Structure 1
């Protein structure tokens, strides 16, 4: 009798879950990719991820103000925060949608959202209608966390958004309209 009940319960659950749209309980592709990249233990590199193609690359010491001296970026293959966002979005969209620019260039390709969804970007700095001066970006994972390439000496990892100062808002990618660039 117990076995019949177990089989019946399993069939009911299977039928009920089969009618739920796929993806409803699955994390978005951007989040899945961010977690995959985290598993590689990729180092932070100032300017890393901004080569011609998205992905880890050697960084640059131009503009470097990190704590580790001398600047290790030119000899470190890795990603900075915008390089991480660029690579994950390129993998998710099948093309380089954010481009090699910094966080200011990236936020201009996005639209601000009040209710973030996993896969949106969390920007830090100051964004007004007239000016954009950002200095950091992370990939929102949900529950107040982000995938983050935080600073020289760190690896790509999950951090709480609230640990970083001057949160500027959540932004969602907006593809260009047909016929425009």
Structure 2
């Protein structure tokens, strides 16, 4: 009887320790991924500078700094999202507030921490990130299984792409 009580007490302590160590944000990755799929379902198009109005979400883009192939620049007349505007909106929906802010991919990297292994809901950045400089040009939301949701470039809609589809992978980042 004493042995059974000791085993029960030990099991209870193990469960308490295990649940106490579970991060409070364990549900966020699922919310981030779900928000990504919901936005994809809506069919928003890429718009250079789109998604960077005062509040997260689709907005008219800008032609300032546009280097896309479609001429003349369609961004100023296109309601949509660029890659960082897409990730901004997804994270705002999941977190309930604008945690990434209106900045570009370089500014978003600065708000996050790099992780060695991505998990669904992390952001996937492309470009160069070193201790001395950050020069990124693309971001997507990691879905798992080597796939990401992103707003890739002018003329495309938010879609699923392989993480390895671009050559200059800079890493997985987590808020």
| TM-score, normalised relative to structure 2 | 0.84
Alignment partner, residue 108 of structure 2: 106
Aligned to 2:145: 143
Q: Give the secondary structure class of the aligned counterpart of 1:54.
A: coil
CA distance in 2, matches of 1:141, 1:166: 19
1:5 alignment counterpart: none
Runs of 4+, deviation exceeding 2 Å: none
Mapping 1:31-50, distance limit 5 Å? 31-50=33-52
2:70 aligned residue: 68
The gaps in structure 1 that reach 5 residues or longer are: 1-23, 174-181
Match of 1:152 in 2: 154
SS at match of 1:126: strand
What's the counterpart of residue 56 of structure 2?
54
Partner of 1:82: 84
Q: State the partner residue of 1:167.
A: 169
Structure 1 residues 170 and 52: CA distance shift in structure 2, 3 A? same
- The 2-side partners of 1:140 and 1:101 are apart by 20
Separation of aligned partners in 2, 1:57 and 1:75: 10
Following TM superposition, by how much is the alpha carbon of 1:164 offset from its aligned partner in structure 2, in angstroms? 1.2
- Once the two structures are superposed, residues 101-152 of structure 1 have per-residue CA deviations (whole angstroms, 9 ceiling, x without a partner) of 0000000000000111100000000000010000000000000100010000
Cα distance in 1 for partners of 2:81, 2:165 equals 20
Deviations 1:76-119 (A, max 9, x none): 00000000000000010000000000000000000000111100
Q: CA deviation at 1:27?
A: 6.3
SS in 1 for 2:42: coil
Within the alignment, does 1:115 sit opposite 2:129 as a pair?
Answer: no
Q: Is the contact made by 2:29 and 2:122 (CA closer than 8 Å) also made in structure 1? A: no
SS at match of 2:126: strand
Alignment-derived partner of residue 91 in structure 1:
93
